Amino acid sequence: MTSRRRFLTSSAASAGALALSPSFNHLLAAPVNGESDTPHRFVFVRKSNGNVPKYCSLPSFSEKERRQDSEKQAFEVSLDKHELPDWLRQLDGYKEHMTILHGISMSVSGGGHYSFSGCMGAYRAGRNTLSGIKRATVDFELARLFPSPFGHVEMSLGSGTGTVMFRTGIVGGFSAPAAHTRNYCYADPMTAYNELFKSVTDTNAVAADNTLLDYLREREGRQLKGLDGKEREKISGHVDSIEAIRERNARVAALGDVIRQNLPMIDPVHADGGRNATLPEKQAAFTDVIAAALISGLTNVVTYTIDDLNTPITTLPENKARIDLHRLGHNAGSGQELRDAVKLHHMKQIHTLVTKLKAVPEGKGTMFDNTTIIYMPETGAGHHGPDNEAPMVIMSGGNSKLDIAGRYIRLPFHGTEGHRTLSNWYTTLLNAYGNPVEHYGDLDLEMSRRKLQQTGPIDRFLA
User: For the segment 413-454, what is each residue's pLDDT rounded down to a tens digit?
Assistant: 999 999 999 999 999 999 999 999 999 999 999 999 999 999
- When pLDDT is cut at 50, 70 and 90, the band that residue 80 belongs to is very high
Which residue, among 158, 161, 253, has the nearest Cα to 205 in the 3D structure?
253
Distance of CA 196 to the CA centre of its chain: 17
pLDDT above 90 (res 275): no
Backbone angles phi, psi at 407, to 5 degrees: -135, 150
DSSP character string of 308-338: -TTS--TTSTT-TT---HHHHHTT-TTTHHH
35-47 average pLDDT score: 87
Instruction: Between 337 and 233, name the one with better pLDDT.
Output: 337
Nearest alpha-carbon partner for 366 in 94, 7, 78: 94
31 pLDDT more than 70 = no
Give, in order, the Cα–Cα distances in Å from 282 to each of 50, 70, 201. 21, 36, 21
Rg (CA), the chain: 22
**To 10 degrees, what angle do helices 279-295 and 189-201 make?**
30
Distance CA 397, CA 15 (A): 26
Q: Mean per-residue pLDDT for 202-231? A: 64
Q: Where does the pLDDT of residue 238 fall: very low under 50, low under 70, confident under 90, or very high at 90 and above? A: low
User: What local confidence, expressed as pLDDT, does residue 3 receive?
Assistant: 33
Segment among 26-30, 333-337, 453-457 with least mean pLDDT: 26-30
Q: How many residues does the chain have?
A: 463
What's the N-to-C CA distance of the chain in angstroms? 36
Q: Over the chain, what is the mean pLDDT?
A: 85
Q: How confident is the model at residue 165 (pLDDT cuts 50, 70, 90)?
A: confident
| Average confidence (pLDDT) over 254-272 | 89
The pLDDT of residue 216 is 60
Average confidence (pLDDT) over 205-212:
68
For residues 395-411, give the mean pLDDT: 98
Residues 316-336 have a mean pLDDT of 79
List Cβ<8 Å contacts ≥24 apart for 128-133.
Answer: 128/174, 128/182, 130/180, 130/181, 130/182, 131/180, 133/176, 133/179, 133/180, 133/181, 133/182
3-state DSSP assignment of residue 159: strand
**What pLDDT, on a 0 to 100 scale, did the predictor assign at position 20?**
35
Query: Cα angle vertex 429, ends 426, 432, to 5°?
Result: 145
pLDDT at 23 over 50: no
Lowest average pLDDT, out of 107-111, 179-183, 243-247, 348-352, goes to 243-247
CA angle 19, 21, 22 (to 5 degrees): 115
Q: Any idea of the CA torsion for 213, 215, 217, 218, to the nearest 10 degrees?
A: 160
Dist CA 440 CA 121 (whole Å):
8
Please check the confidence at residue 18 and state whether its pLDDT lies above 50: no
The backbone torsions φ and ψ at residue 77, rounded to the nearest 5 degrees and listed phi first, read -140, 160
Check whether 262 has a pLDDT greater than 70.
Answer: yes
In this prediction, residue 223 carries a pLDDT of: 62
Contact, 313 vs 47, CB < 8 A? no
Indicate whether 210 pLDDT > 70.
no
Q: Tell me what pLDDT residue 97 has.
A: 98
**185: enclosing H helix or E strand:** strand 184-186
**The pLDDT of residue 213:** 57
Average pLDDT of the residues in 297-302: 96
Higher pLDDT: 251 or 281? It is 281
pLDDT at residue 268 is higher than 60:
yes
pLDDT value at residue 235: 47
H-run or E-run covering 286: helix 279-295
Distance CA 183, CA 76 (A): 37
Helix 189-201 to helix 203-224 angle (10° resolution) is 90
pTM of the model: 0.87
Quote the CA–CA distance of 414 and 104 in Å, as a whole number.
Answer: 8
Distance CA 421, CA 457 (A): 10
Question: Which of 42, 46, 40 lies closest to 375 in space, CA to CA?
Answer: 46
pLDDT tier at 226, thresholds 50, 70, 90: low
